[in-house]
Each structure stands twice: as C-alpha cells, then as structure tokens.
Chains A and B, each alone.
Chain A
Amino acid sequence: MSRVVFLKERCKGCLLCTQVCPKGIIALSGEMNQQGYKIVEVAPGKMEQCTGCASCAMICPDTVITVYKTVKPGQPVKPGEPGEEVARVNG
C-alpha cells in the first residue's frame, strides 16, 4: 500500500497539496501544530487510495511530505534508484 507521511510541525496549512492530489484524499484536519497553523491530513480510512504519485510532495513549499510507493511483487527496486537502500518489508 502506497502511503504519505506528513511532518506535522512543518505544515503551514497552505492547502496546495489538497488541490493536486488526483484522488482528493488530502484535507484540512482541524488539528493545529505548535506553529499555530491548521494542518492537513489524509482523511481517516482513505490512505488505501494513495497511488504514491508524489504530486502532493512536489507542490509542497515546506517539504512536509514523504511518499512511500508500493513495489509490486516480482518488480524489484532497480539498482541505483533512490529508494533502493530503503526498500523494506512491512510487518
């Protein structure tokens, strides 16, 4: 399952990521961080829809988002790809 991880303390709540997500799963959370900004989240239960396209991370001005993309079985991470050394097995 592809997924995105938000670094909550860096988010400034500009909402640009909500506009570019092709699945529309990112939304304002109602939570506030220590900087005092209302931050975004992936709506509960909607993370399965994430395709790992990284559009949200590319438009984020504060590099809040890290994107993990699923590698299909039988499709090993190619040598030299950025994710090679971190490919791992989920429990």
Chain B
Amino acid sequence: MTEKIAFERPKPLADRATHYCPGCSHGIVHRLVAETLQDMDLVENTIAVSAIGCSVFLYNYIMVDTVEAPHGRAPAVATGVKRARPDRFVFTYQGDGDLASIGMAEIMHCANRGERVSVVFVNNTIYGMTGGQMAPTTLVGQKTTTCPSGRCRDSEGMPIRMAEIIASLGGTAYASRVAVDTIKHLNQAKKALRKAFEVQVNGLGFGFVEFLATCPTNWKMSSIDANKRIAEEMIPYFPLGDFKDVTTGKGVC
C-alpha cells in the first residue's frame, strides 16, 4: 500500500527543541509563519525582525536572516531594513508586551506610514518572559503578579484591541485577528497570515495579524484549560475576523 506524507515539519523551521513551555502557542505560530514563507517561496528572500519577550529567540527557530530589535522597536527597525532593501520580504514577530505597550508609538506610525512590512502579533494577554505581569491586553479581572486581585477597569483601564486600532490607520492594507485554539481557527489563521504577507509582496501597504495565544505557565493553568480559555474568555472580548482588507474593500474609507 502506498502512502504519502500528509504533514511534516516545514523546512524553514529548525530541527531543534524550543525553549517554550509545554502547550505554548508560540510554537504553533512559528510553524504557521515557516509554512507560509515556504508556500510563498519567500524563505531565501526574507529578513525577519524579532522583538523582546519569549519570541526573542526567533532566529534560533526560523531559519531566515534576522535582526534583533530593542524592546518594542521592531517596526522601526523593519522600516529601516525595508527602505534599505526594498527587494526583500520583511516581517516582525512581536508579543503583546512588546507591541501594545512599549512599542505602541512605533507600531502606530509604521502602520500609518503604510510601510511595506508585515507584523505577526502574538497576544497572550500577559508578559510571559518576565514572569506574568499585567500587559495592556490583560483582560479585566485577570490575575497577574502586578494585579494580584485582578485587573480593575477603574484604575488600569480596559484591554487594548490592537487589530481594530491598526485597521483604523491610513497606511494599513490588511488587519485581522485570528486564534490558534482549534483546527478551524488554525486554518483561518493560516489564510490571514498569507494575506498579510501578500499585501506586502504586492506593494499594497502594511499587513497586520493578531494571534490570540495561550501562556499556560503564567495563567497558572494546564495547557488544555488554557486552550479553552481562548474561546471562553478571549474571543468574546477580542472578536475574530478581518477589520481591514484593501483587496476586498472591507474597512476602507
């Protein structure tokens, strides 16, 4: 009987163990990025910009040329890289502590200028690497080490919805929010990621994808419970879908 390989590790993904905790969504997002680069035949032509956070070791896991940016400044570094080498494909890979907090100015202006770069934004509602502090995306009532009785709306405000903010900026060509908790959502995530990469390749503008991800260790949950929390608590506040897409005219004024 003949058989074919239905699934194997994509070639741009390094054949080594990651430093991520069991059940961490970073591994899934890394694989989606590697698969999309491979499918679009961009691997040899890509310069990645990695950020600070758990994803800081991106260059150990995705075998493309990578620039390490200071905390939050990945979109600014990517702007420089893309303007110096406009023939290259440039993407940044950032977490929510990096992009939505210290890097807010850089991401807003990068999107507003319509830089031809793509941003992979992993939102797990917490600072993972530094030990579980409150992030701008932490949900109201969520307990972290810096809000041990839960985030309070009166003193800390509401979680920031980044995909909607980026979609409202003029230079954005594509802004979407996806999740990585189920197979259905994974398929949608891969399509969204491909579109965010395509708008850069086609020179249409800035591409942005927000991934709703888990952090089982800092949420103090098992991997399975953490995965369920995405559907139960995160998706109701962070709705999935495309918020802007210049190729279909959605969200374009």
Contacts and interface: CB of A to CB of B under 8 A. Distances in A.
A17 to B, nearest CB: 10
Contacts of A49: none
Interface in A1-35: 1-3, 9-10, 12-16, 19-20, 35
Contacts of B224: 14-16, 19
A61 B9 contact: no
Contacts of A35: 17
- The B interface is mostly helix, strand or loop, or mixed, namely mixed
Nearest to A77: B4
Given A12-B22, A15-B223, A84 B186 contact: no
Interface residues of B, number: 30
A61 B7 contact: no
A43 interface: no
A55 B182 CA distance: 9
B26 interface: yes
B24 interface: yes
B172 interface: no
Given A69-B6, A84-B4, 14 more contacts: A14-B223, A15-B23, A15-B222, A35-B17, A61-B20, A61-B28, A62-B27, A65-B7, A71-B3, A77-B2, A82-B4, A83-B4, A86-B4, A90-B3
Interface of A: 1-3, 9-10, 12-16, 19-20, 35, 37, 52-55, 57-63, 65-71, 73, 77, 81-84, 86-90
9 contacts: A12-B23, A61-B23, A61-B26, A66-B9, A67-B8, A68-B6, A86-B4, A87-B3, A90-B1
Q: Closest 10 A-B residue pairs measured CB to CB?
A: A83-B4, A61-B27, A14-B23, A12-B22, A69-B6, A14-B223, A54-B7, A67-B7, A57-B7, A14-B22
